[in-house]
A = this chain, B = another copy of it.
Amino acid sequence: MELVRQNNPLIHCMTNDVVMNFTANGLLAIGASPVMAFSAAETEDMASVADALLLNIGTPSNEGVDSMVLAGKAANRAGKPIIFDPVGVGATPFRNEISKRILNEVDVAVVRGNAGEIAALLGQAGTVKGVDGKINADVKELCLQAAKALRTVVVVTGEVDAVSNGEQLVAVANGHEWLTKVVGTGCLLGGVIAAYAAVQPNSLVDAAVEALAFYGVCAEQAYEQTKKEGIGSFQQTFLNELGNMTDEKAAALKRVEQIC
């Protein structure tokens, strides 16, 4: 976190229409600089100067994906980490196709999704409902398997989050259920992982684990302050926490388990 605040990384967010504002405010809160650019006329230029690229297909279109692939290739050429968030993959054939296309044409550093989405990326059947789907799956096994198959770091978020690069496997138990009651908290998490990856590009598992623990602790603290009020207050207080949380406090409250 201190590294993010000191280095103020520029995160090029190609994210969905619903969560842009919340993502930008969350990234500003943690000390990163968000920039949004979507047109094929400039995404390569923007991806080249940014410190990391976030690709999120929450409201996908054909032109949007063309632009994402251009940006992704530019980020690859510039050696900048790419975080891919396959929102709602499994819900429609279109999202399956474009997810495959992005994974084929772009060298992704970290993939983040819920269990249903990660299973869908592997072609496994599951019941995905909208973008907050849950499937019955052994999340840890799924994470390890996906990381091997996709050859990236994989983050499976859920009640307990799992992170793997195909060899290591780490579980993060922080977080709160109310995160699922605010739209874009998963999408912003992708941005926060991008910010951590931008300042620690050579240890992506650590970057993802620290981002998850930090994020989860902020949610827990925000819930404690707003549980009597409701999720409108939670959303605002969560942004306060993202801005105020220190590495020391996050380290003291984190619940991280190295599994292998």
Q: How far is the CA of A52 from the CA of B80 in the complex (A)?
A: 41
Q: Does A132 contact B (CB under 8 A)?
A: yes
Interface size class of A (residues with CB under 8 A): 35 or more
Within 8 A of B (CB), among A56-97: 58-62, 88, 91-95
If A10-B130, A18-B36 touch, whether A240 touches B236 (CB-CB below 8 Å) is: no
Give the number of copies in the complex. Answer: 3
- Asked if residues A36 and B21 are in contact (CB atoms below 8 Å), the reply is no
Q: Please choose the segment from A104-112, A116-124, A181-189 that sits at the chain B interface, where 4 or more of its residues have CB less than 8 A away.
A: A181-189
Q: Does A214 contact B (CB under 8 A)?
A: no
- Asked if residues A235 and B21 are in contact (CB atoms below 8 Å), the reply is no
**CB within 8 Å of B: which residues of A?**
10, 16-22, 24-25, 28-29, 33-39, 41-42, 45-46, 49-50, 58-62, 88, 91-95, 129-132, 180-184, 229-233, 235-244
CB distance from A12 to the nearest CB of B (A): 9
Q: List 18 A-B contacts (CB under 8 A).
A: A10-B129, A17-B20, A25-B235, A28-B183, A34-B183, A35-B91, A36-B59, A38-B59, A41-B60, A41-B61, A41-B94, A42-B60, A230-B239, A230-B244, A232-B235, A232-B240, A232-B243, A233-B240
Q: How far is the CA of A183 from the CA of B33 in the complex (A)?
A: 10
- List the 10 shortest-distance A-B pairs measured between CB atoms, nearest first: A230-B240, A232-B239, A42-B94, A24-B183, A232-B236, A45-B92, A35-B130, A42-B92, A232-B240, A39-B61
CB distance from A67 to the nearest CB of B (A): 10
If A233-B236, A239-B231 touch, whether A132 touches B33 (CB-CB below 8 Å) is: yes
- Asked if residues A18 and B21 are in contact (CB atoms below 8 Å), the reply is yes
Q: How far is the CA of A132 from the CA of B61 in the complex (A)?
A: 28
Question: By CB atoms of chain B within 10 A, which of A33, A62, A231 has the most?
Answer: A231
Question: By CB atoms of chain B within 10 A, which of A22, A29, A236 has the most?
Answer: A236
In the complex, chain B residues whose CB is within 8 Å of the CB of A91: 35, 45-46, 49
